[in-house]
Amino acid sequence: MTETRAMSMRQTKSAGLALALMVAAQFMVILDFSIVNVALPTIQRVLRFSPVGVEGVITAYATAFGGALILGGRLADLFGRRRIFLAGLLAFGATSLACALAMTPAFLVVARVTQGLSAALLAPAALSLLTTTFAEGAERNRALGIFGAATAAGFVTGQVLGGVLTDVIGWRSIFVINLPVAVVCSALVLRVIAADSGSVRWRMPDVPGAVSITAAMALLVWAPTRGAEKGWGSGSFLIPLTGALVFVVAFLVLEGRQREPLVRPALLRSRWLAGTNATTAVTGALNGALVLLCTLFLQRVQGYSPLRAGLSFVPMGVVGLLVRTRYAGRWITRFGVRTVLATAALISALAILGLSRLSGGASYLPLLPWLIVIGASFTTAAVATTVAVSTGVAAHEQGMAAGLRQTAFQVGVALGVAVLLSIAASHTQSLLASSHPETQAAALTAGYRLALVILSALSAVGALTALAMLDSMSMPQLMRREPPSHTRSGGGMVHCLCAADASHRRPAVGP
């Protein structure tokens, strides 16, 4: 009995250390996103970005990240989750240094693309390590709640640290900060995460599929920026939009013909996963666009410094952190994914609508209650979509499922930022150019308010999507028979947990 208890304690400790490492990686990826938000006005001024072009610092990262996530997840399944996780950490550190060395807008945007590609290796490998380490149900929900807490912690830390570093050292330091985290995590991977088990056949991944989906995402994000500059009926908008649709169709056709597709066609046909990923994309748009719009409002209209603007989001992030660690997993276990996700999206819609009443010259206090509510609802929705996308999917396809979910989120971020910032900028310019022009501050405020109203409507659509598509009849039974031994990877999980995880997982059924 004593020996059994000691083994159980060792298993729990090993799982806890592995989870801590995955959380650290997620923290770094999210930190990099929020830390750039606060520094964006400074980057625009120093490198002389245009008002619309500066969004490329965010959308370049989000587009590359979102476009390559499915490939990253599939590589983790095929070649081993620990291998891809470690490669992603090292590449992320190197590309962060490249961003810090940028001297021109073009160099920074290209460096952000490479950083996004590195994150596309890192993020799905981390998430699939988690979902294959912890059994489906309450255990996994708790782990995902802790993992999700890294998002809230990274968000808060990024907002504050971005302001401090930008004010005290300079904007380049916001990228240098990733280096020590990447180095330490890389060293710990070799000690904490067990080596990938089983033999691996080094086969060529689905490169045509990866190229087509990445091109589709890039064109889909680029189209709104052209529409804002040249007009929504112009060829500058319609041509890239059409090109994006063509590449999406090409991707779907290719996936049906590949021996090792990025995404198995059965997953693409799942109503449950389609609903989950659609709602995830909405969640990404809300997170990306709202934070950036509010940051720009506080700095450009209210005259806040980067540090003060960053501190303004601390209550929102702290509430999100509390909800993720203590409540989100419990709510999902008790009420189910569909109810929790739809409720969170509806609450977000109402809170964003309240936030859209912001006005120039007003104090910060009227914004605070709405930001707190949004912090709770955003983070609850994020945990719910993460739980939903891993439900009913076999262990050897968890990387693929994680890649789908994170692709949807990052595409949502990229589209949300590109579309809504373009709409806000376009509305502001039209007011300034009118026969009775507004003041600069009033025109900027009107542009941000319009974008927030649209964002509120989008969140309501997300709630309806969750209700319509995530019913019990659509819950996936997508697991096919386990692959031959030569295609299996131990997932990089802690060795002692393999048997325990298998004993708790539902039996595989389906095609």
For position 402, which CATH number holds? Answer: 1.20.1250.20
Burial of 508 (0-12, 13-18, 19+ CB in 10 A): middle
Residues 248 and 276 in one domain: no
Q: Which domain holds residue 219?
A: 206-259
- List own/partner pairs for 348-354 with CB under 8 A and 24 or more apart: 348/286, 348/374, 348/377, 348/378, 348/381, 348/459, 348/462, 349/456, 349/457, 349/459, 349/460, 349/462, 349/463, 350/456, 351/377, 352/286, 352/290, 352/452, 352/455, 352/456, 352/459, 353/452, 353/453, 353/456
Residues 218 and 331 in one domain: no
Helix (H, G, I), strand (E, B) or coil at 172: coil
**For each of the chain's 511 residues, which pLDDT tens digit applies?**
444 444 343 444 567 777 888 888 877 877 777 778 778 888 888 888 876 677 788 878 877 877 777 778 778 877 888 889 999 999 999 999 999 999 988 899 999 999 989 988 888 888 778 877 777 677 777 777 777 666 666 666 777 777 788 888 888 988 998 888 888 888 888 887 877 765 555 566 677 887 888 788 778 877 876 776 677 788 888 998 899 999 989 988 888 887 777 777 777 778 888 888 899 999 888 888 888 888 888 888 888 887 788 788 888 878 887 887 788 878 888 888 889 999 999 999 999 999 888 776 667 788 889 999 998 998 898 888 888 877 777 766 766 777 677 778 877 877 888 788 888 888 888 888 887 777 888 888 899 999 999 999 999 999 999 998 887 655 555 444 344 444 333 333 333 322 223 333 332 222 2
Which residue type occupies 28?
M
Any domain includes 460: yes
Residues 250 and 307 in one domain: no
Rounded to a whole number, what is the distance in angstroms from the first to the last CA of the chain?
42
**Residue of 174, 122, 171 whose CA lies nearest to 150:** 122
φ/ψ of 149, rounded to 5, equals: -60, -30
Residues 248 and 264 in one domain: no
DSSP label of 13: H
Q: Give the integer Cα–Cα distance in Å for 364 and 290.
A: 16
Helix (H, G, I), strand (E, B) or coil at 476: coil
Which uninterrupted H or E stretch holds 289? helix 271-296
Q: Give the integer Cα–Cα distance in Å for 322 and 186.
A: 28
Q: Maximum CA pair distance of the chain?
A: 84
Contacts (Cβ under 8 Å, ≥6 apart) of 209: 70, 71, 251, 254, 255, 258, 261, 262, 263
Residues 273 and 233 in one domain: no
Which residue type occupies 173?
S
Residues 179 and 224 in one domain: no
Any domain includes 510: no
φ/ψ of 58, rounded to 5, equals: -90, -45
Residues 73 and 219 in one domain: no
Domains held by the chain: number:
2
Any domain includes 467: yes
Contact 67, 209 (CB under 8 A): no
Taken as a whole, the chain contains a residue count of: 511
Strands (E), 73-122: none
Residues 248 and 331 in one domain: no
Residues 144 and 226 in one domain: no
Any domain includes 405: yes
Which residue type occupies 150?
A
Any domain includes 496: yes
Residues 106 and 246 in one domain: no
Q: Which of 231, 259, 287 is the endpoint of a domain?
A: 259
Q: Give the integer Cα–Cα distance in Å for 279 and 44.
A: 32
Any domain includes 222: yes
Helix axes of 368-390 and 398-432: crossing angle, nearest 10 degrees: 150
Any domain includes 511: no
Any domain includes 509: no
**Residue of 221, 212, 284 whose CA lies nearest to 253:** 212
Q: Give the integer Cα–Cα distance in Å for 141 and 139.
A: 5
Residues 312 and 409 in one domain: yes
Residues 223 and 350 in one domain: no
Q: What tokens appear for 219 in the block?
A: 């064109």
Distances (CA, A) of 14 to 11, 192, 193: 5, 7, 9
Q: Give the integer Cα–Cα distance in Å for 415 and 220.
A: 8
